[in-house]
Amino acid sequence: MFVNVAKPQCIIFRVDAGADIGLGHLMRCLSLAQGLVTRGVRVFFAVGRNSVAHCQSRSDWVGEIHLVVSTSLYDEYQELQQLCVKEKADWLILDGYQFDFNYRKSLNLNACKLAMLDDGQLIKAHIEDSQLAMIVNWASGAEALTYRKLAPNAQCCIGASYRVLRQEFYQVKTLPFDKRNRLIITFGGSDPSQLTLPLLKHFDDSFIRLPITIITGSGYQHLDALSDLIKQSPLSIEHFHDCQHVASVFQQARLVVSAAGASQFELLHCAAPSILVVTEDNQLFASEQASKQGWCFVSVKRAIQAQAHHELDTKVKEQLLAQIVQKTIALWHQPEQLRNMHGNAILARQQNGFDNIYAGLYPELVNQPGQVTHDE
């Protein structure tokens, strides 16, 4: 299927993770990197100092880590350019809201092509960028977005047929709905809106007693307070921190309350009925598309707007938490509704879209480059 070439392929990801921005961007890049490594591509992650620990904590990590040491944007541009030249990179892939038009415009990559993993920020910025050679957005329905107009020179790997998850999700067999018995609560790698603790307190105050699983990521900053609450709670609670087997835990979900970020694609693949909590504008499009598939509910939509430093107004947050608890309890006692949501997820989920992205990155190595399509 593949032809031999003298020059080894190399791709560099520029991405960061942390308590303030979460781990979603890093995990998204890791998903793609795991597929690339299986094809013999050398992978580098260019990350800031605060991101390194999150990379090193992963048991499924692939690729080499390059610590970005620059203290100014100008120096970072130079550092990235030199790294691309040194490693003879074919692609530099950016993932993060800080890599805006001005950042991309300042890069002089010569032979190295520039790609962007996006979840709507390019659309929101509405600035034409002729430098981008590829855009990836694997949200369902993303084909309808105006990427072609904003990036006229880019291959658009857009929509669910380009979705890629970490390898663990393709290795776990879907558990039948009748064998699922957990309520899972997870607000991403760092819970930047700080919803885990107050939501758990709301469940404590309710009259229902559900078996609850809490998942927190390596960026979560309130472990001591969470541990104390779990010890004092009358609820049956298990807690996984920096979980390295998320796929197998998601399989146990009768219902999930989750942040509406990239984890929604993992929940869909695991056929886990879900309530997606939207706290950022960029989460809204993908979440609304997911709700149309019938496997999840979107909890707040535009009623909640994230404010500076991800802080939500106290009154609004309390209203949000009360809504989530009410919806959770109501759904928990509607087994046929949950069963239908589980079935809808099985019908809606996509298989590994890595082959389609790889065909866009290296069409010369694939016998059928026609796999890659553009949004017209």
Q: Residue 169 in contact with residue 266, Cβ under 8 Å?
A: yes
Residue 216 is predicted with a pLDDT of 96
Residue 125 is predicted with a pLDDT of 93
Mean of per-residue pLDDT scores for the chain: 90
Nearest to 224 by CA among 197, 242, 252: 197
Radius of gyration of the chain (CA): 21
What residues form DSSP beta bridges with 338? none
Give the lowest-confidence range in 26-40, 92-106, 262-276, 277-291: 277-291
Residue 375 is predicted with a pLDDT of 35
Residue 300 is predicted with a pLDDT of 67
| 153-195 residue pLDDT tens | 999 999 999 999 999 999 999 999 999 999 999 999 999 888 9
Cα(74)–Cα(227) distance, integer angstroms: 43
Q: What is the pTM of this model?
A: 0.89
Q: Residue 130 in contact with residue 101, Cβ under 8 Å?
A: no
Can you state the percent helix, strand and coil of the chain, rounding each to 5? 45, 20, 40
Mean pLDDT for 136-143 is: 94
Asked if residue 37 has pLDDT above 80, the reply is: yes
- Tell which wins on pLDDT, 304 or 321: 321
**What percent of the chain has pLDDT above 90?**
79
What residues form DSSP beta bridges with 237? 212
Q: One-letter amino acid identity for 330?
A: A
Map out the domains of the chain with their CATH numbers: 10-164+352-371 (3.40.50.11190), 168-348 (3.40.50.2000)
Residue 304 is predicted with a pLDDT of 46
Residue 96 is predicted with a pLDDT of 95
Residue 44 is predicted with a pLDDT of 98
Asked if residue 151 has pLDDT above 80, the reply is: yes
Please give the structure tokens belonging to residue 203: 């469940």
Residue 208 is predicted with a pLDDT of 78
CB atoms near residue 301 (< 10 Å): 13
Asked if residue 118 has pLDDT above 90, the reply is: yes
Cα(169)–Cα(254) distance, integer angstroms: 18
Q: Residue 54 in contact with residue 189, Cβ under 8 Å?
A: yes
Q: Helix, strand, or coil here: 303?
A: helix
